[in-house]
Structure 1
Amino acid sequence: MASNSPAPEGIELQEAPNAGAWGEWNPTEDSARPPRGKHRVVKQRGGLARSSTVLGVGVIAAVGASGIATAQDRPQVAISMPSLPDFGLGGAGGDGQHADAEGPAAGAEAATKTGIIAQQAAGHADAGATLVGRILQQAESQESAADAQNRAQAERAAQEAAAAQAKAQRETAQKEADDARVAAEKEAKEAAEAKAEQERIAKLAGSYSLPTSAYTLTSHYGDAGSMWSSGYHTGLDFAAPTGTPVKAVAGAKITSAGWSGAYGYRIVLELEDGTEIWYCHLSSMSVTSGSVGAGETIGRVGATGNVTGPHLHLEVRKGGSTMDPLAWLESKGLSV
């Protein structure tokens, strides 16, 4: 329906050149002057007018005093609205207030913008959630890698400790085995040496003889006393009755026989290895030169020289030095 109400005061409507068609209406400062002081003049800020302000002015021009004009009987009014950027004011007018009549297109645009913002917000939320998920996944992966590394290190340390323990056990077992082997070898060697010594002594027993019989040992080698010029006894004394036979301890040659001062009558035998056997304080000498065999009588027990009673003073010398006659005789397999 068309409205017969006149246009509001101060608003001029121009028809388009074509018959029956509305021309393009562009409001100006003069035509948009408020009637009866009820409206303010809409001014552009910075030379630019908001689309919502222009739309509001167009709606006011289309409203009559008795109702709203429709476009059923006449063509629609072509309203030119400049396309201005949205500066984030949310459709505010020049004075910073929202327009009251945006129309379906403005609502759809606002809904579209709201949907876009929601979609952007949802997109940002999804991106944030994805980023958080990736961070958590990365942290979990790093934690898993650290746990795996720690487990590997623990397993490696356990393997090294087990290997070290096994090595120590092997070394201990090897040492015990070596010690046992060395002990067995030593024992076997000692047994072999003892057996060899016994065989040697048994063999020598037939080659060596005691120097006399029916005797008593009175003074041993190394005994100290003022009765000996050296301060200690240098031989072994066999106390026996005067005239008891004195025998050669082994096959030897006589190197000396005669009077020898404090030793009285003395016979010296030299063995094959250079060992000298001295027989002292003899009462008589049966052989004074040549060679003798083991057990052959070479003289008699007496008390000549520096003595306190009849006895045989036996000395064993090698290289000019004296040695213990008892030990030497025993080494030859003789039981003194």
Structure 2
Amino acid sequence: MASNRPAPEAPFTSDFFGEEGAERSYEEWNPTEDSVRPVRGKHRVIKQRGGLARSSTVLGVGVIAAVGAGGIATAQDKPPVSISLPDAISDKLPDAQSLPGVGSFMSDSDESAPTDEQTASSLSAMGLASETGSAEEENGAGEALRARILQQAEQQQATVDAEAKAAAEKLAAEKAAAEALKQQTAAEAAAQAAKEKAEAEARAKAEAARLAELAKSYALPTSSYTITSTFGEAGSLWSSGYHTGLDFAAPSGTPIKAVHGGTIKSAGWSGSYGYRTVLELEDGTEVWYAHQSSISVSVGQKVTTGQTIGRVGATGNVTGAHLHLEVHTAGGSDIDPMAWLRGKGLTV
């Protein structure tokens, strides 16, 4: 048996030695200052949620620091313990300095070993760093949530603005369309009015031309006259109760003319009409000349426009010398002589 140096800083498990080492028994091992030296490296602290978890983490770190410091103090009070191993095993053991990550842990020098205060400070710092990291992560999550909310609000506002803009554009388009329709309607109405006015003017012009042409073929029944009674006047002077013709008051003997070319249908005495001449036109219209002082034509005679057919007198039922003119349709109905003459282009 060979005597070996003091126990290493951290005990090895039976797995390191293999099955052969597992069958052997060893002496009691007591911790020393070197064996309880904290392992250098990063300590990974599991992140927990909630204020209670962070408080527990800090409390746990403080407990570990206190226990570590107490263990070191206890180990310093005990003498080193020698551990003896068989030569067959000790010769096969690797050099502790050559093991990865174990060289510094197994070093006999105390220059790089942290003190108790450094160990406690390191553990406390790790707890504070963990808490600070959690706070930073929570702040980052809060900022991300805030940014997401702001983004959603901006999107919603953009949607509202777009809808408002679309509604405003639609309203403007509707107003423009209504205004255009209104203007179009007004333009069409103005064009229609102008068209109707032009058509009316054209009709009036055509009628004037027609009447002017007719005036060449029609003539007034007498001259130097005064209208004393018109068609339709009521009174006891007429047997029918109303005046059936148009009276041209003129001096006795004033010539009476044919208003248009036609044929003499009747000529002679006719009771209250006195001496009367009936002129039938080509369309069947009859023109009666009454109260004549004399007749210049005979039945069946053809006359032309403006030809003298008699003279003004006061025969029959009269109050003075005048020409009583009546106009009858081919069917025998009475017509207002003034309107009929004006319709032929004559001015009465």
TM > 0.5 fold call: yes
**SS of the residue 1:320 aligns to:** coil
2:326 to 315, 327, 334: 315
Q: Answer yes or no: is 1:302 the counterpart of 2:310.
A: no
Residue of structure 1 in register with 2:109 after alignment: none
By percentage of residues, which structure has more helix? Answer: 2
> Is the 1:234–1:322 Cα contact (8 Å) retained in structure 2?
yes
| Distance in 2 between residues matched to 1:331 and 1:189, nearest whole Å | 20
Q: Which runs of structure 1 show a deviation greater than 6 angstroms over 4 or more consecutive aligned residues?
A: 107-111
C-alpha spacing 1:275/1:121, structure 2 compared with 1 (3 Å): farther
Deviations 1:171-219 (A, max 9, x none): 2332332233223323322332222222222212221111112222111
Residue of structure 2 in register with 1:328 after alignment: 340
Offset, 1:168:
3.0
2:79 to 46, 55, 71: 71
| Distance in 2 between residues matched to 1:288 and 1:71, nearest whole Å | 184
Offset, 1:149:
1.6
* AA at the equivalent of 2:215: A
Matches within 5 A, 1:152-167: 152-167=162-177
C-alpha spacing 1:237/1:162, structure 2 compared with 1 (3 Å): same
**SS of the residue 2:229 aligns to:** coil
**SS of the residue 2:248 aligns to:** strand
**SS of the residue 1:167 aligns to:** helix
Residue of structure 2 in register with 1:43 after alignment: none
Q: Answer yes or no: is 1:273 the counterpart of 2:272.
A: no
Residue of structure 2 in register with 1:238 after alignment: 248
Offset, 1:124:
4.1
Question: How does the TM-score come out when normalised to structure 1?
Answer: 0.64
C-alpha spacing 1:261/1:134, structure 2 compared with 1 (3 Å): farther
Offset, 1:109:
9.4
Offset, 1:286:
2.1
- Structure 1 alignment gaps of length 5 or more: 1-16, 25-50, 77-103
> Is the 1:22–1:75 Cα contact (8 Å) retained in structure 2?
no
C-alpha spacing 1:130/1:307, structure 2 compared with 1 (3 Å): same
Question: How does the TM-score come out when normalised to structure 2?
Answer: 0.62
Residue of structure 2 in register with 1:227 after alignment: 237
Q: Answer yes or no: is 1:147 the counterpart of 2:157.
A: yes
Q: CA RMSD in A?
A: 3.5
| Distance in 2 between residues matched to 1:125 and 1:320, nearest whole Å | 122
Residue of structure 2 in register with 1:209 after alignment: 219
| Distance in 2 between residues matched to 1:115 and 1:212, nearest whole Å | 141
Offset, 1:22:
4.4
| Distance in 1 between residues matched to 2:146 and 2:242, nearest whole Å | 102
Residue of structure 2 in register with 1:289 after alignment: 299
**SS of the residue 2:186 aligns to:** helix
Offset, 1:110:
11
C-alpha spacing 1:146/1:274, structure 2 compared with 1 (3 Å): farther
| Distance in 1 between residues matched to 2:281 and 2:234, nearest whole Å | 29
Matches within 5 A, 1:7-156: 22=28, 69-72=77-80, 74-75=81-82, 118=128, 121-156=131-166
> Is the 1:223–1:232 Cα contact (8 Å) retained in structure 2?
yes
**SS of the residue 1:224 aligns to:** coil
Deviations 1:5-30 (A, max 9, x none): xxxxxxxxxxxx97xx5479xxxxxx
| Distance in 1 between residues matched to 2:167 and 2:332, nearest whole Å | 72
- Structure 2 alignment gaps of length 5 or more: 1-24, 31-62, 84-114
C-alpha spacing 1:228/1:134, structure 2 compared with 1 (3 Å): farther
Deviations 1:99-132 (A, max 9, x none): xxxxx99x969975x6676565445434432332
Deviations 1:222-273 (A, max 9, x none): 3232222343322110112233222110011223333333322322222223
